[in-house]
A = this chain, B = another copy of it.
Amino acid sequence: MRVGYLGPEGTFSHEAVLSDVDHRELELVAQPTIYDTVMAVHEGAVERALVPIENSLEGSVNTTLDTLAGEAEDVAIAGEVVHPIRHCLIARNPMALEDIDAIVSHPHAHAQCARFIRAELREGVTVVAAASTADAVRRVAEHEGGGTWAALGNRLSAEIYECEVIRAGVEDVAGNETRFVWLAPAGEQPEREGRWKTSVVFWGVGADAPGWLVRCLSEFAFRGVNLTKIESRPRRQGLGRYMFFVDLEGSERDAPVAEAIAGLHQHAEELRVLGSYPVPG
């Protein structure tokens, strides 16, 4: 089975795939962007893909939501994986913190390690932006900066690019984790076992009227269906026009969930069930 993920090798997506499945039985296919990863399932280039959908510090991953809602009609969410985000300070060879001239990484990693950078690295250290944490480690491995650069990346990327972990766990806030979702072709039902979740997206006919969103959400509340997430995203048609992503407990094959979704259909101009899927734990 071919499995897509956001490359290059050594990203947190790659790490999350390896933590969740036995990769020796799979052909892992790195994709250049999250958009391409979702669309690879839509177009049949891979049978499964793992994409980040939400981070406990940064919030939703907009590209994932927008692509699932807007273009990838033939794709369904088929499962989820919660993966810890641990940043390491990585260099080509062992070195003292005060010898680091530049710290290269994705801007999110810089932001998540800002206090460490300020407290432990020398004042005025140059901050260099990279396309991903894995790309940052690759650049350090290729000796950009002549050996005085360090990267922020994960342990997997240090192994892949044969670099040294100078210090592990340099993120400022502990408990940083990302929720990834498995994508599969729509119509393939995951096996039923344990707890389930359902993800839907909808937008409105009467979305400008007071109380429209309340009427929509009441369809779930009246039936005791718990929401675990609600998120609005622009519909890309000007300010003030939104679509709403809702995660709820239960499968779309459970009667209260099915009835709530049928009720919501009456208020919504568009409603799509993005998937019903078992969740771990």
Contact = CB atoms under 8 A, between A and B. Distances in A.
Contact of A236 (B56, B215, B224): B56
Interface in A175-217: 175, 177, 179, 208-211, 213-215, 217
Interface in A44-60: 54-59
A227 B210 contact: yes
A280 B230 CA distance: 29
Contacts of A58: 62, 234
Given A221-B211, A230-B213, A238 B56 contact: yes
A234 B59 contact: yes
A179 B210 contact: no
Interface string A58-94: 1100100000000000000000001000000000000
Contacts of A82: 239
A266 interface: no
Contacts of A107: 107, 131
Given A82-B239, A239-B82, A239-B179, A232 B229 contact: yes
Interface in A222-265: 222, 224-234, 236-240, 242
A273 interface: no
B214 A210 contact: no
Interface of A: 54-59, 62, 82, 107, 129-131, 173, 175, 177, 179, 208-211, 213-215, 217-218, 220-222, 224-234, 236-240, 242
A62 B111 CA distance: 12
Contacts of A233: 59
Contacts of A175: 237-238
B57 A236 contact: yes
Contact of A177 (B173, B227, B230, B239): B239
Contact of A221 (B214, B236, B239): B214
27 contacts: A54-B234, A54-B239, A56-B234, A56-B236, A56-B239, A57-B236, A59-B234, A82-B239, A107-B107, A107-B131, A129-B129, A129-B130, A129-B131, A175-B237, A175-B238, A177-B238, A210-B220, A210-B221, A210-B224, A210-B226, A210-B227, A211-B222, A211-B224, A214-B218, A229-B242, A230-B230, A232-B232
